[in-house]
């Protein structure tokens, strides 16, 4: 059964930006910003679950992040293991299911093992889906979907439509994103969920990710609830009961 939506926001995705800048502004090493950001992940997961969000996808490590300094990459790769080790009991208790997207074959063995264990331990949970985008890039996901489709070999070109193609993405059950939140003040989507954010509402925040808390999520959801989503229709059609 798909998790329940809240205020129409079935799927919330977050670009967790600003860890490094947060640390630099305080005279700390960038790695300290990433460590501080883990607490924001904890708080956000709890808040999203409390607020009834059905799907929460967090951009934890992009395919481009592999090009960062070795020390920073090593620290970033250690954080998922620490999170799963510390938070898995609560995740299980809260009936949250953990999923992932991205090229996990590039992940260090320890990270991959902890991720797969978390997925297995929560596989039967029916509450909020918590999706970690690890070693993820949306263009890569689309290319990988094309490869899977071609390897399948059962489809002819004329039978392929959007629904068929989406079935070959990393998580075929993932619904389109309703609300995309980006912290850190930047105004770009950074190769994140390009297929799934086609009609997403965007909320960008000046606060850096380590400062993100429940109040920020509630404000973003409130802003989302006040927007008119047209899906190509006119405002009059939407207000008159039209549907996408």
Boundaries of every domain in the chain: 11-137+176-237
Give 70-81 pLDDT, tens digit per residue: 999 999 999 999
By C-alpha distance, which of 183, 182, 209, 180 is closest to 196? Answer: 180
pLDDT at 4 over 70: no
More confident of the two residues 157 and 94: 94
pLDDT tier at 240, thresholds 50, 70, 90: confident
Please state which architecture CATH assigns to domain 11-137+176-237.
3-Layer(aba) Sandwich (3.40)
- Span of 3-12, 42-51, 53-62 with lowest mean pLDDT: 3-12
Q: What is the pLDDT of residue 154?
A: 83
Task: Determine the Cα–Cα distance for residues 116 and 159; give it in Å rounded to an integer.
Answer: 34
Q: Which strands sit side by side in the sheet containing 11-15, from one edge to the other?
A: 97-101, 129-136, 55-62, 11-15, 179-182, 201-204
Burial of 17 (0-12, 13-18, 19+ CB in 10 A): buried
The single-letter DSSP state of residue 153 is -
Please list the alpha-helical segments (H only) found in 133-232.
138-152, 162-166, 214-225
Please indicate, yes or no, whether the overall pTM of this predicted structure exceeds 0.85: yes
Active site residues: 17, 65
By C-alpha distance, which of 135, 168, 42 is closest to 96? Answer: 42
Percent of the chain with pLDDT over 90: 86
By C-alpha distance, which of 220, 185, 212, 241 is closest to 53? Answer: 220
pLDDT at 231 over 90: no
């Amino acid at each position: 059964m798909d998790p329940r939506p809240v205020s129409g926001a079935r799927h919330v995705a977050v670009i967790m930006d600003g860890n490094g800048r947060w640390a630099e502004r305080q005279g700390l090493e960038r790695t300290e910003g990433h460590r501080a950001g883990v607490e924001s992940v904890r708080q956000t997961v709890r808040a999203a679950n409390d607020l009834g969000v059905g799907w929460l996808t967090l951009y934890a490590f992009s395919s481009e992040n592999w090009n960062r300094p070795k020390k920073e990459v090593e620290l970033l790769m250690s954080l998922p293991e620490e999170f799963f080790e510390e938070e898995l009991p609560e995740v299980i208790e809260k009936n949250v299911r953990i999923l992932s997207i991205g090229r996990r074959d590039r992940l260090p063995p320890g990270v991959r093992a902890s991720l797969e264990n978390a997925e297995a331990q929560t596989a039967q949970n029916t509450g909020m889906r918590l999706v970690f985008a690890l070693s993820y890039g949306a263009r890569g996901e689309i290319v990988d979907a094309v490869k899977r489709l071609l390897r399948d070999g059962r489809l002819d070109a004329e039978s392929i439509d959007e629904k068929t193609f989406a079935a070959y993405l990393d998580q075929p059950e993932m619904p389109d994103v309703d609300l995309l939140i980006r912290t850190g003040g930047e105004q770009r989507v950074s190769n994140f969920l390009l297929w799934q954010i086609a009609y997403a509402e965007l909320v960008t925040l000046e606060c850096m990710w380590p400062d993100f808390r429940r109040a920020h999520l509630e404000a973003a959801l409130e802003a989302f609830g006040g927007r008119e989503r047209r899906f190509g229709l006119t405002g009059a059609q939407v207000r008159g009961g039209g549907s996408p």
